[in-house]
């Protein structure tokens, strides 16, 4: 442990008033030490259970259902970065792609639109670590508060948790953004689903052109997801540019479906392992913070 019994003894001797305020069963240094040890070990044990989905210690408190809450954060993140969510402000099908092709020259339009998607989700990527870490902070605080309720004079749970969690917060926020930059630069996938779905999309492309020639107003997209889109406005554009715009739209959608899942999986692995690392080290780290708080440092 970072704080030896001798160091604790020297410091507590200078703050004898704090010891005198201890409950009867904590009237010696050894008893204080053992109580701190009990608190941190119990906190570690409770957090481990909560992260594994064992909520028996907190049966009436849904906020303590850590495994479910963390999974819900990732599900929400995945939903928000899906292509449909990102494109929800575009009122007309393929108009954005067509306008870009009319104004941009010698552009790789697939990369062009994917870069836009990466930019649009960057805020969500910044938010997720903060939201998760905020929840973990509250979780650790609630567990610690429960286990030190019988000895409130030993420490302020809020202060101990603040030191513990804040020390790791900055590092947690940096890596996801670095990962996003790697996705921007690499722009590749070995997922066979991409080539398969792109090759299958030629059938939909033919169907689109046939529907336009018939004067149809809507069409059901079946490649990425079932989606009814308006197509009547596309009759105002040259058929060649409509075909090219549709090809870009389909490729962006297929690639985004793959990369967004890859991004969420990376975040899930990274954040889960970081949280587990915090719990694994909590006995030593929390013991140190409690000792420092007790000694007035």
Structural domain harbouring 292: 1-11+29-296
In a domain, 255, yes or no: yes
Residue 79: count of CB within 10 angstroms of its CB: 12
Both structure tokens of 143: 């567990």
- DSSP label at 77? H
In a domain, 24, yes or no: no
In a domain, 159, yes or no: yes
In a domain, 262, yes or no: yes
How many structural domains comprise the chain?
1
- Please choose, from the candidates 237, 218, 194, 205, the residue with its C-alpha nearest in 3D space to the C-alpha of residue 95: 237
Residue pair 160/290 in contact (Cβ under 8 Å)? The answer is yes
In a domain, 19, yes or no: no
Residue pair 13/256 in contact (Cβ under 8 Å)? The answer is no
Both structure tokens of 162: 């603040």
**Three-state DSSP class for residue 193:** helix
pTM to 2 decimal places: 0.75
Token match 């030190």: residue? 148
In a domain, 18, yes or no: no
Distance CA 294, CA 288 (A): 10
Per-residue pLDDT tens over the stretch 45-60 = 999 999 999 999 998 8
Segments in the chain below pLDDT 50: 1-2, 16-17, 19-22, 24, 85-86, 297
Distance CA 128, CA 117 (A): 17
In a domain, 16, yes or no: no
Residue 85: count of CB within 10 angstroms of its CB: 14
53: phi > 0 → left, psi -120 to 50 → alpha, else beta; which? left
Residue 115: count of CB within 10 angstroms of its CB: 13
In a domain, 22, yes or no: no
Q: What is the pLDDT of residue 50?
A: 94
Partners of 227 in beta bridges:
221
Per-residue pLDDT tens over the stretch 202-222 = 888 999 999 999 998 988 887
Distance CA 140, CA 188 (A): 39
Q: What is the pLDDT of residue 85?
A: 46
């Amino acid at each position: 442990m970072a704080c030896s019994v001798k160091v604790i003894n020297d410091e507590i001797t200078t703050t004898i008033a704090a010891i005198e305020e201890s409950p009867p069963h904590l009237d010696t240094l050894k008893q204080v030490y053992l109580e701190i040890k009990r608190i941190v070990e119990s906190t570690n044990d409770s957090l481990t259970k909560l992260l594994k989905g064992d909520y028996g210690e907190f049966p009436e408190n849904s906020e303590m259902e850590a495994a479910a809450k963390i999974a819900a954060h990732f599900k929400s993140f995945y939903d928000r970065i899906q292509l449909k969510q990102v494109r929800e402000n575009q009122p007309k099908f393929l108009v954005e792609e067509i306008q870009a092709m009319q104004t941009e020259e010698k552009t790789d339009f697939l990369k062009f639109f994917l870069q836009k998607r990466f930019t649009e989700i960057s805020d969500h990527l910044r938010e997720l670590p903060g939201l998760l870490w905020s929840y973990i902070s509250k979780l650790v605080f609630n567990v610690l508060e429960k286990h030190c309720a019988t000895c409130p004079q030993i420490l302020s749970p809020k202060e101990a948790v603040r030191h513990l969690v804040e020390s790791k917060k900055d590092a947690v926020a940096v890596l996801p953004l670095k990962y996003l930059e790697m996705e921007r630069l690499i722009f590749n996938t070995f997922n066979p689903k991409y080539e398969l779905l792109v090759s299958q999309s030629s059938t939909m492309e033919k169907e689109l052109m046939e529907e336009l020639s018939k004067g149809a107003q809507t069409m059901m997209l079946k490649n990425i997801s079932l989606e009814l889109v308006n197509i009547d406005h596309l009759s105002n554009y040259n058929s060649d540019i409509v075909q090219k715009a549709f090809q870009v739209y389909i490729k962006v959608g297929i690639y985004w479906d793959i990369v967004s899942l890859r991004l969420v999986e990376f975040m899930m692995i990274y954040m889960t392992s970081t949280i587990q690392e915090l719990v694994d080290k909590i006995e030593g780290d929390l013991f140190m913070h409690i000792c420092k708080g007790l000694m007035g440092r």
